[in-house]
A and B are shown apart, each in its own frame.
Chain A
Amino acid sequence: MADRTWWKSVHPALPEIAEKLRREEIDRRDFLRTASLLGMSAGAAYALAGELTGEGLIKPAAAQQEETPVMGGTLRVGMRVQEMKDPAVFDWTEKSNQARQILEYLVMTDENNVTHPYLLESWQPSEDLKTWQLNLRRGVKWNNGDDFIAEDVAHNFRRWIDPATGSSNASLFSSLPESGIEIVNDHTVVLHLNEPDLSVPENLYNYPAAIVHRRFDEMGGDFEANPIGTGPYQLAEFSVAGVCRLTKRPPEEYWGDEVYLDEIAYIDFGEGTGPTVQALLAGEVDTVYEIGIEEIEIIEENPNLEVLQAITAQTAVARMRVTEEPFTDRRVRQAVVACMDHVRLLEIGYRGRGAPAENHHVCPIHPEYFPLPRLRQDYDLARELLAEAGYADGLNLTIDVRNAPSWEVNTMQAFKEMLEPAGINLSLNVMPDSQFWEIWDKTPFGFTAWTHRPLGVQVMNLAYRSGGAWNESAYSNPEFDAALDVANGLVDPAERSRQMEKVEKILQDDAVIAQPLWRAVFTAANRRVANITCHPTFYHQFNRVWLRSA
């Protein structure tokens, strides 16, 4: 820390944020993620935070590690084994976990929701957040011997935004035209966006954003046939619905620290968590992809196993399509949400594991979260609003709900009972998952699951902005859009949080969604597995995992 001004060249906002941390206006976590966002390396950011707060250098996770890691062994993971021909069109996280051990991402979001450079050394946004310079890590080699260069990165961006690829990344980079991908030299790529975008780094860790080789398409566009990657493992055996076996690449070829595990084997036990948990209990696997909340008890009873938990921004929202009767009337929507007791639903639906939500889809773990006054169940208000809207004699509604996971049905069943005193008769239309995803963005009233995203504005842009790619409620409010635009341009989380007050309030008042809860997610592992964590989005980061009895 001899030169205290070195970091000021990274981004103009950084000194200001550092100052705020010193004055304790923002917390350490916010500082870390914003500093990382602005292109500061994680090590430097953690060091600086320690210096500013006087807490000294605390390394995350590694600080708790006392044992000496052991090399070797096979980590057996119970998870569905699915096809993985094209990483850009992955539609299941499981697929990305198989590929994640072979392929790598430009950035990495850790289990604390902080994003770090990964295949990048750093990134540098312009002040208007429209130009992003990506500085590639040097010395990275593909497992076919080629060097990792800017053309690799540019090729991936091109195929993501090409509609013919069919990648869901296209929506994340909709402001990036093909001409906006500029290769400056072998180690620098610059993105020229049409609109400011705060979340470029986070988007680069979206699970279909694994970086494939520049000749991926020339080689037939089939990752199973040509599993070329930069990661520490290579594909040894693969059968869909069977086994995906990955073996360690010679460590001298890999750019990062040597990984501990010799082998990772994904073993398929079919759909649903039941048989997979059986295998975990029987010691046939060391960890699993996910366990359901109802399985926590049986795992905790077993002395060989431990439950791993992550707080997430995963949720489900009872969203009302504002273009369909009777939800065109704001009073009807307000009456529906007024009947919701969020804390109670968290208890009933999710055994209290998580946090109550506030009908605005910004989670307390998001850096820009602004706490609005707590919502209260208000039947008088609900009845009054219904009477005004012309439903004094009651209202019949039907909501589409998926049949699994069970908490979704249970929560809506409880909500149905909460609606009754106000004279709203809710019927549940329970349907299979695949059927639900055909109508999720069309039905008048549906209970839609939303996955975790690192930033609050990301969901706002996708789901509630006028014409947003996944705007399932058809919500359109110029005032909201304008407020959101301002928030999108604010790098500083404290400043953005102040702006989010407005965004959250508009969405909450317009009563587009009745959102019961934020849920924690769980997985479990055998105690012989060391250093394993549950990632909020179940991404498997096994580079530092080792086995106590390999």
Chain B
Amino acid sequence: MIALIVRRTGLTLLTMLVVSVLLFLIFETRIDSIALSVLGPYTTVEQREIWLEANGYYDPLWQRYLRWLGNALTGDFGTSVQFKRPVNEVLWPRLGNTALLGAVAMAVIIPLSLLLGVLAGMREGSVRDRAISFVSILTTSVPEFASAMFLIGIFAVALDNLLPGTTNVADGISLRELILPAAVLVLYDFGYVARMTRASMAEVMGTQYIRTAILKGLPYRRVILRHALRNALIPPFTVIMLQFNWLLSGVIVVEVAFAYKGFGYLLLEAASNDDIYVIQACTMVAVLVAVATQTISDIGYGFLNPRIRFGR
């Protein structure tokens, strides 16, 4: 177990290092556009050159990279060119907002999709299974931007602002403002997880030990709860861990539609303004989340399924 964590940590650091080098190389070709996005399109080339010079952009690439790396190791991700303030000051509150949105969405997605998946998978091909599958496929196939507009149209416009279609940052984020964005995420995602759970449940229900348990006269309830569930929930567990990953990128559309100032929105803004240090920091966070959830999923797997043991 410890060996696994150590190995994973090493792998994480290596991935982050490689990704950061790649990003730096990509942005190397776009140095001019950084000055442009800072000083605006209506400045002269001379003014931009003076700015680049003054801000150390003409130093060799490796020098700038090492400088960034040294600072990043001490937790200083540099200064955002777009916001003209430290990346840390911008990034963490935004990440906090997305965590809040994600937590609300996940708090609905996980119980809902597991319940529906299990209910559907218990009797494959039954009317209940068909109904649940139909709804799941339907909601999952509607893209987020469409369902966002749809919900805004119903709840904010047609129902005369029953629920706000935008997030007013003037006085913090209220629960009312979280409902619609979270609903979009739930609509898009629950069907997928439910379908995965259903498949896994259906497979378990078809195994011989379940058949044996039923044939030997155990109550159906007991068969499901004691024998089927634990085995059926292993694949959905991995899928759910992957959803955290998906959230970081999947929220972009939702956050833009609802003007929700989160991580996804920040990443989009940074990308469209060549805000290299913000992009770097966002990417580091994304890599960290990806590997961390994967590690948790692997460890959790071990607990859920005693047959799996990690080699040294």
- Tell me the minimal C-beta distance from B147 to chain A in angstroms: 15
State whether the Cβ of A89 lies closer than 8 Å to any Cβ in chain B.
yes
State whether the Cβ of B19 lies closer than 8 Å to any Cβ in chain A.
no
> Scoring B residues 34 to 54 as 1 if CB is less than 8 Å from chain A, else 0, what string do you get?
001111111110111011001
Contact, CB under 8 Å: B42 / A166: no
State whether the Cβ of A114 lies closer than 8 Å to any Cβ in chain B.
no
Contact, CB under 8 Å: A166 / B51: yes
State whether the Cβ of A180 lies closer than 8 Å to any Cβ in chain B.
no
With a cutoff of 8 Å between Cβ atoms, the chain A residues found around residue B37 in the complex are 434
Assuming A85-B84, A89-B39, is B273 touching A279 (CB within 8 A)? no
Assuming A166-B51, A268-B261, A434-B272, is B168 touching A171 (CB within 8 A)? no
State whether the Cβ of A470 lies closer than 8 Å to any Cβ in chain B.
yes
> Scoring B residues 150 to 183 as 1 if CB is less than 8 Å from chain A, else 0, what string do you get?
0010001100010011111110000000000000
- Tell me the minimal C-beta distance from A448 to chain B in angstroms: 10
Contact, CB under 8 Å: A163 / B169: no
With a cutoff of 8 Å between Cβ atoms, the chain B residues found around residue A85 in the complex are 84
With a cutoff of 8 Å between Cβ atoms, the chain B residues found around residue A171 in the complex are 42, 44
> Which of these, A240, A269, A283, contacts B161 with CB under 8 Å?
A283
State whether the Cβ of B90 lies closer than 8 Å to any Cβ in chain A.
yes
With a cutoff of 8 Å between Cβ atoms, the chain A residues found around residue B169 in the complex are 239, 241-243, 267-268
> Which of these, B50, B82, B83, B165, contacts A275 with CB under 8 Å?
B165
With a cutoff of 8 Å between Cβ atoms, the chain A residues found around residue B77 in the complex are none
Q: How far is the CA of A470 from the CA of B37 in the complex (A)?
A: 17
Dominant SS among interface residues on chain A: loop
Q: How far is the CA of A437 from the CA of B30 in the complex (A)?
A: 13
Assuming A85-B84, A89-B39, is B47 touching A278 (CB within 8 A)? no
State whether the Cβ of A124 lies closer than 8 Å to any Cβ in chain B.
no
With a cutoff of 8 Å between Cβ atoms, the chain A residues found around residue B85 in the complex are 83, 240
Assuming A85-B84, A168-B43, A170-B44, is B261 touching A270 (CB within 8 A)? yes
Assuming A166-B51, A170-B47, A434-B274, is B269 touching A271 (CB within 8 A)? yes
Contact, CB under 8 Å: A282 / B156: yes
Contact, CB under 8 Å: B44 / A469: yes
Contact, CB under 8 Å: B50 / A166: yes
State whether the Cβ of B256 lies closer than 8 Å to any Cβ in chain A.
yes
Interface centre among A85, A241, A243, A268 (most CB of B within 10 A): A241
Contact, CB under 8 Å: B259 / A270: yes
Contact, CB under 8 Å: A269 / B259: yes
Of residues 70 through 129 on chain B, the ones whose CB sits less than 8 Å from some CB of chain A are 82-85, 90
Of residues 208 through 249 on chain A, the ones whose CB sits less than 8 Å from some CB of chain B are 239-243
State whether the Cβ of B258 lies closer than 8 Å to any Cβ in chain A.
yes
State whether the Cβ of A432 lies closer than 8 Å to any Cβ in chain B.
yes
Q: How far is the CA of A89 from the CA of B168 in the complex (A)?
A: 28
Q: How far is the CA of A83 from the CA of B82 in the complex (A)?
A: 8
Contact, CB under 8 Å: B39 / A91: yes
Q: How far is the CA of A270 from the CA of B268 in the complex (A)?
A: 11
State whether the Cβ of A128 lies closer than 8 Å to any Cβ in chain B.
no
- Tell me the minimal C-beta distance from B262 to chain A in angstroms: 11
Assuming A91-B39, A282-B161, is B44 touching A433 (CB within 8 A)? no
Contact, CB under 8 Å: A275 / B258: yes
Assuming A91-B41, A434-B273, A434-B274, is B170 touching A241 (CB within 8 A)? no
State whether the Cβ of B59 lies closer than 8 Å to any Cβ in chain A.
no
State whether the Cβ of B32 lies closer than 8 Å to any Cβ in chain A.
yes
> Which of these, A240, A271, A281, A470, contacts B157 with CB under 8 Å?
A281
Q: How far is the CA of A240 from the CA of B164 in the complex (A)?
A: 22
Q: Give the contact-size bracket for chain B.
A: 35 or more
State whether the Cβ of B33 lies closer than 8 Å to any Cβ in chain A.
yes
Chain A: interface residue total (CB-CB under 8 A):
44
Contact, CB under 8 Å: B42 / A89: no
Q: How far is the CA of A279 from the CA of B256 in the complex (A)?
A: 14
Smallest CB gap from A432: residue in B: B272
> Which of these, A83, A90, A440, contacts B83 with CB under 8 Å?
A83
Q: How far is the CA of A267 from the CA of B161 in the complex (A)?
A: 18
Smallest CB gap from A92: residue in B: B40
Of residues 150 through 185 on chain A, the ones whose CB sits less than 8 Å from some CB of chain B are 163-168, 170-171
Assuming A275-B257, A434-B273, is B41 touching A267 (CB within 8 A)? no
Contact, CB under 8 Å: A166 / B47: yes
With a cutoff of 8 Å between Cβ atoms, the chain A residues found around residue B152 in the complex are 278
Interface centre among A85, A270, A469 (most CB of B within 10 A): A270
> Scoring B residues 8 to 29 as 1 if CB is less than 8 Å from chain A, else 0, what string do you get?
0000000000000000000000
State whether the Cβ of B265 lies closer than 8 Å to any Cβ in chain A.
yes
Q: How far is the CA of A269 from the CA of B255 in the complex (A)?
A: 11
Contact, CB under 8 Å: B261 / A242: yes
> Scoring A residues 273 to 307 as 1 if CB is less than 8 Å from chain B, else 0, what string do you get?
01110110111100000000000000000000000
Smallest CB gap from A283: residue in B: B161
- Tell me the minimal C-beta distance from B274 to chain A in angstroms: 7
Of residues 84 through 120 on chain A, the ones whose CB sits less than 8 Å from some CB of chain B are 85, 89-92
Contact, CB under 8 Å: A470 / B164: no
State whether the Cβ of A438 lies closer than 8 Å to any Cβ in chain B.
yes
- Tell me the minimal C-beta distance from B225 to chain A in angstroms: 46
Assuming A91-B42, A170-B47, A281-B161, is B83 touching A437 (CB within 8 A)? no
- Tell me the minimal C-beta distance from B144 to chain A in angstroms: 15
Contact, CB under 8 Å: A470 / B261: no
With a cutoff of 8 Å between Cβ atoms, the chain A residues found around residue B32 in the complex are 438
With a cutoff of 8 Å between Cβ atoms, the chain A residues found around residue B259 in the complex are 268-270, 275-276, 278-279
- Tell me the minimal C-beta distance from B183 to chain A in angstroms: 16
> Which of these, A163, A282, A432, A433, contacts B47 with CB under 8 Å?
A163
> Scoring A residues 250 to 274 as 1 if CB is less than 8 Å from chain B, else 0, what string do you get?
0000000000000001011111101
Smallest CB gap from A279: residue in B: B166
With a cutoff of 8 Å between Cβ atoms, the chain A residues found around residue B39 in the complex are 89, 91, 166, 168
Smallest CB gap from A270: residue in B: B259
Smallest CB gap from B42: residue in A: A168
Contact, CB under 8 Å: A89 / B40: yes
Smallest CB gap from B274: residue in A: A434
Contact, CB under 8 Å: B164 / A284: yes
With a cutoff of 8 Å between Cβ atoms, the chain B residues found around residue A168 in the complex are 39-40, 42-43
> Which of these, B48, B167, B269, B272, contacts A433 with CB under 8 Å?
B272
Contact, CB under 8 Å: A166 / B43: yes
With a cutoff of 8 Å between Cβ atoms, the chain B residues found around residue A243 in the complex are 169-170
With a cutoff of 8 Å between Cβ atoms, the chain B residues found around residue A92 in the complex are 40
Contact, CB under 8 Å: B265 / A270: yes
Extra contacts besides A166-B51, A171-B44, A241-B169 (10): CB < 8 Å: A83-B85, A166-B48, A243-B170, A265-B170, A270-B261, A272-B256, A278-B259, A279-B166, A434-B272, A440-B41
What are 15 A-B pairs with beta-carbon distances under 8 A? A85-B84, A91-B42, A91-B43, A166-B47, A239-B169, A240-B83, A240-B90, A241-B169, A242-B261, A272-B256, A275-B167, A281-B156, A438-B33, A438-B36, A440-B41
The 8 A-B residue pairs whose C-beta atoms are closest, nearest first, are A91-B40, A275-B259, A270-B259, A168-B42, A269-B259, A275-B166, A437-B41, A278-B165
| Chain A interface residues (CB < 8 Å from chain B) | 76, 83, 85, 89-92, 163-168, 170-171, 239-243, 265, 267-272, 274-276, 278-279, 281-284, 432-434, 437-438, 440, 469-470
